[in-house]
Amino acid sequence: MDFDLSEEQRLLKESVDGLLADAYDFDARKKYMAEKGGWSKAVWSKLAEQGLLGLPFAEADGGFGAGAVETMIVMESLGRALVVEPYLATVVIAGGFLRHGGSAGQKAKHIPGIIDGSKTFGFAQLEKNSRYDLHDIATSAKKKGDGWVIDGEKFVVLNGENADTLIVTARTKGGRRDRSGIGVFLVPVDAKGVTRKGYPTQDGLHAADITLTNVEVGADAAIGDPESALDLIERVADEARTAICAEAVGAMDESLKTTVEYIKTRKQFGVAIGSFQSLQHRAADMFVALEQARSMSMFATMASDFDSARERASAVAAAKVQVGKSLKFVGQQSIQLHGGIGMTMEAKIGHYFKRLTMIENTLGDTDYHLRRVSEGGGLLA
């Protein structure tokens, strides 16, 4: 049992933090958000140069063969700096599908573009009525010759506005909520029949609503078994949830630090407001919430080694519940303790609050995952 980082992991953390300290203060972030597409190609190239985009891929595929802990380290740092570049959608999610389900040909075709930073991906999962159920899919993929024809509508596609390629979940068989008959497809955004309506999100990222009308793709578009890919989808989704739990911990940590600094310096009634016990106790409770979330983020990360799939899933769901509760408290109280200035677009603190809030609604909210743990029989072995 060991909660420390290895020497290599510590160096990785230093290098990510160092890069972001140089390139990603709050003003720089504003500039990147104003660029075309809403994020910085230059920063993305720097992440590629440092090898961060290739981290989780096997060495045989040109990557570094890093594991869940390394992803946690990177995501926590990205959360701390409120990075808007599409690491989650491209490296964690698309990368996850390719690593766990991709054929040799798919890996050779797509992984190099991720690693060198030339290509980004979007994850087209959410539908009008699916909410958080990954198996609830109305979008259809019908066999045509060797290939597939895809029809349907996807919403709030992560990085959908800017992606080169979409990962689309679609039904090849059965009814809308069947757990079988589900496939995952690689769809180039310039394929005939793909229309997208891009927009910025509340937390400064970019997404898109995407309509697929008679979109024809080849046989090599399907990742894994096109009739039973739900396990693959859930596995990748759990890795993505684990990653955003770490991102949330980074954002909460920085949010609390910023808030504590603020109440140490802000004066009212002739003294720093941090000298008032009601504010001190609130800050202490924020610290408790943060540490509980950090513990569960580590737990979900380490659970990727568990033998039992049920225990792995429960650990991730439980982490998402704890992180969801903690981020709401830390996010809201960070604004409260800042007072009026916390309400302004100009202050950084509100942007943490917004990113944290959207993390709660990504890939299942607190209630959804609480139900998931409950239906899995709870956490006590």
Partner 1 sequence: MDLAFTKEEIAFREEVRAFFKDNVPPETRRKLQEGRHLSKDEMVTWWRILNKKGWGVTHWPKEYGGTGWSSVQQYIFNEELQSYPAPQPLAFGVSMVGPVIYTFGNEEQKKNYLPRIANVDDWWCQGFSEPGSGSDLASLKTKAERKGDKWIVNGQKTWTTLAQHADMIFCLCRTDPAAKKQMGISFIVFSMKSKGVTVRPIQTIDGGHEVNEVFFDDVEVPYENLIGEENKGWDYAKFLLGNERTGIARVGVSKERLRRIRALASKVESGGRPVIEDPAFRERLVACEIELKALELTQLRVVADEGKHGKGKPNPASSVLKIKGSEIQQTTTELLMEVIGPFATPYDEHGDAGSNESMDWTAQIAPSYFNNRKVSIYGGSNEIQRNIISKAVLGL
Decide whether 343 or 379 has the Cβ nearer to partner 1: 379
Decide whether 128 or 264 has the Cβ nearer to partner 1: 264
Decide whether 14 or 305 has the Cβ nearer to partner 1: 305
Could you list the beta-strand ranges (E) of 190-317: 194-200, 206-217, 222-223, 267-268, 271-272
Q: What does the angle CA 62 – CA 124 – CA 81 come to, to the nearest 5 degrees? A: 65
Decide whether 200 or 377 has the Cβ nearer to partner 1: 377
Decide whether 228 or 292 has the Cβ nearer to partner 1: 292
Distance CA 245, CA 237 (A): 12
Residue from 283, 311, 347, 348 in contact with partner 1 (CB under 8 A):
283
Q: Judged by CB under 8 A, which stretch of 24-32, 115-123, 208-216, 314-322 contacts partner 1?
A: 314-322
Decide whether 30 or 310 has the Cβ nearer to partner 1: 310
Burial code of 330-360, b = ≥16 C-beta within 10 A, e = fewer?
Answer: bbebbbebbeeebeeeebbbbbbbbbbebbb
> What's the min distance (Å) between Cβ of 69 and partner 1?
5
Contacts from 273-281 at CB under 8 Å and sequence distance 24+?
Answer: 279/337
Beta bridge partners of 271: 268
Residue from 10, 131, 267, 281 in contact with partner 1 (CB under 8 A):
281
Asked if 285 is part of the footprint of partner 1 (rule: CB under 8 A), the reply reads yes
Decide whether 28 or 260 has the Cβ nearer to partner 1: 260
Residue from 287, 328, 361, 368 in contact with partner 1 (CB under 8 A):
287
Q: What does the angle CA 24 – CA 29 – CA 30 come to, to the nearest 5 degrees? A: 155
Distance CA 184, CA 162 (A): 20
Asked if 1 is part of the footprint of partner 1 (rule: CB under 8 A), the reply reads yes
The greatest distance separating any two alpha carbons of the chain, rounded to the nearest whole angstrom, comes to 78
> What's the min distance (Å) between Cβ of 58 and partner 1?
21
Beta bridge partners of 152: 212
Residues 6+ apart with CB under 8 A from 281: none
Asked if 295 is part of the footprint of partner 1 (rule: CB under 8 A), the reply reads yes
> What's the min distance (Å) between Cβ of 361 and partner 1?
19
Beta strands 121-124; 165-171: pairing state: parallel
Q: What does the angle CA 318 – CA 135 – CA 138 come to, to the nearest 5 degrees? A: 145
> What's the min distance (Å) between Cβ of 287 and partner 1?
5
Residue from 45, 292, 357, 361 in contact with partner 1 (CB under 8 A):
292
Task: Please give the residues from 250 up to 279 whose contact with partner 1 meets the rule CB under 8 A.
Answer: 260, 263-264, 274-275, 277, 279
Residue from 186, 233, 296, 349 in contact with partner 1 (CB under 8 A):
296
> What's the min distance (Å) between Cβ of 67 and partner 1?
9
Residue from 321, 330, 356, 359 in contact with partner 1 (CB under 8 A):
321
Q: Which helix (H) or strand (E) holds 150?
A: strand 147-158
x-marked contacts with partner 1 along 7-36 as a string, rule CB under 8 A: --x---------------------------
Q: What does the angle CA 194 – CA 217 – CA 197 come to, to the nearest 5 degrees? A: 15
Distances (CA, A) of 79 to 32, 161, 243, 261, 353: 16, 21, 10, 19, 12
Asked if 298 is part of the footprint of partner 1 (rule: CB under 8 A), the reply reads yes
Residues contributing to the site for partner 1 (CB under 8 A)? 1-5, 9, 69, 260, 263-264, 274-275, 277, 279-281, 283-285, 287-288, 291-293, 295-296, 298-299, 301-303, 305, 318, 321-322, 370-371, 373-374, 378-380
